[in-house]
Structure 1
Amino acid sequence: MEYLEKRAELLKAIAHPIRLCILDCLINQKKCNVTRMMKVLGKPQSTISQHLAKLRMNGIVEGKRKGLEVTYKILDDDVVKIVKLLLKGKNFD
């Protein structure tokens, strides 16, 4: 049951249109910074940062700082498979 609860939490964490779009961007770009995500999504930095925080808290993405820039990437291969399945045939980039 614990495994199923963890999987359900993973699904909850990605179950938002903006987070799905962020993940799609990260899948297509392999790595991406907030500035690029803002351009792709047309959303302010604060919105992107809130959603990235949720994804980070759930171990889905990680950010690597290089100077002033933080580049994000997906850590969980299962998330990549799920998002690709959900967005099959769609590209928001």
Structure 2
Amino acid sequence: MYNNFEQFQETSDILKALAHPVRLCIVKGLILRGYCNVAFMQEYLHLPQSTVSQHLQKLRNFGIVKTERKGLEVNYTIADDRVRRLIQVFFSEDES
């Protein structure tokens, strides 16, 4: 069997980062929209900007999302295709 658990650390960290309803919603929304800025997420989620930013920072720290700057606007996109596939598996019935 597996006796070297270090190889599972990255996957475990990604799953932990996704293990929050707000972060799941952010990631699913980014998959559906392609990209989004904090102001739109804040309005959609009905949460303070600081709360949305904290969740985005956690997602960035684990390489789940990345930023793209357009002038003064910063948009977030999905950075890891494994996460995209994982979310699609969990929410595939939502898209039928």
- TM-score, normalised via structure 2 length: 0.86
Residue in structure 2 matched with residue 44 of structure 1 by the alignment: 48
For residue 90 of structure 1, give the secondary structure of its aligned residue in structure 2.
helix
User: Would you identify which runs of 4 or more consecutive aligned residues in structure 1 move more than 3 Å?
Assistant: none
Q: What secondary structure does 1:59 align onto? A: coil
Alpha-carbon offset, residue 5 of structure 1: 1.4
Deviation for aligned residue 1:82: 1.2
CA distance in 1, matches of 2:58, 2:32: 20
What fraction of aligned residue pairs are identical, expressed as a percent?
47
After superposition, the CA RMSD in angstroms is 1.4
Where 1:78 maps in the other structure, the secondary structure is helix
> Greater RCO between the two (CA within 8 Å, min separation 6)?
1
Q: Which runs of 5+ in 1 are unaligned?
A: none
Write the deviation string for residues 12-34 of structure 1: whole angstroms up to 9, x where unpaired.
01110000000011000011111
Rg (Cα) greater in structure: 2
Distance 2:48 2:59 in 1: 17
For 1:3 and 1:73, locate their aligned partners in 2 and report how far apart those are by CA, in whole Å. Answer: 26
Aligned pairs for 1:13-24 within 5 A: 13-24=17-28
Of 54, 72, 77, 2:76 maps to: 72
